[in-house]
Amino acid sequence: MNHLLHIDSSVRAENSVSRALTARAAGQWRAAHPEGTVTYRDLAANPVPHLDAENGLALMTPPEQHTPAQARTYALSKTLIDEIKAADTVILGMPVYNWGAPSLIKTWVDHIIAIGVSYAPDGTSLLGDTEFIVLESRGGGYGPGTPRHGWDHAESWLAHGVSMTGLVPRIITAELTLSATEPAMAHLQPLAKESLLRAHAEIDALWTIDDESAA
């Protein structure tokens, strides 16, 4: 049976573009896999604890040598990785904050880089069979020809950050989202709408929907 892991990270409970995108993608996935099951994780509502001086070496220390704090961290990391292993598809909502990924996602990534669990001691990745769809929302425009081209550091970092696990993100982006609320960006609203419609079209084309099951 097909299984989806749906992850949100926006700190906005309402009016979140990334949450709207992941909801659309999850709906498309369900329509294509009517018998499938879903696990949902909200990193903003239930943040993964940061690695710190007390537990930060848990993923690099043999389990039999763990302190109690390290043992708790290792168990959580294994749970997060097992969620990925159980899924055929992972959908991650990633808003861009201050030109980077939310710390909530950075911490999640830190927890899923674990030797012997997400990658083998010889470097072989263990999560490479999982489809990884990332729905990114960014307030500005950072594409070629724009004044801040290259300022979106979330996209390139994520691909590098998860590379040891074998996960390869397919990133679908809706940009200029701040034009809806920032008066100085109001003239960019038509471009923002175009970007959102392109993102919707990419999402809708991700999985083949059986006409009979969708009826």
> How high is the pLDDT of residue 1?
80
Determine the structural domain holding residue 114 and report its residue range: 3-214
Q: Are 39 and 3 in contact, with CB atoms under 8 Å apart?
A: yes
| pTM tops 0.95, yes or no | no
Model pLDDT for residues 17-46, shown as the tens digit of each residue: 999 999 999 999 999 999 999 999 999 999
| Helical H segments across the chain, by residue range | 17-32, 68-85, 103-112, 153-161, 189-204, 211-214
- Our CA angle for 25, 31, 36, nearest 5°, is 95
147-167: per-residue pLDDT in tens?
899 999 999 999 999 999 999
Tell me the pLDDT tens digit for each residue of 159-207.
999 999 999 999 999 999 999 999 999 999 999 999 999 999 999 999 9
Domain count, the chain: 1
Give pLDDT, residue 212: 52
Mean pLDDT over 73-87 rounds to 97
Residue 214 clears pLDDT 60, i.e. is over it: no
State mean pLDDT over 136-147: 92
Which residues, at least 6 apart from 133, have a Cβ–Cβ distance to it below 8 Å? 25, 89, 90, 91, 92, 169, 170, 172, 206
Q: Are residues 5 and 108 in contact, defined by beta-carbon separation less than 8 angstroms?
A: no
Q: Is 68 exposed, middle or buried (0-12, 13-18, 19+ CB in 10 A)?
A: exposed
- The CATH number of whichever domain residue 46 belongs to comes to 3.40.50.360
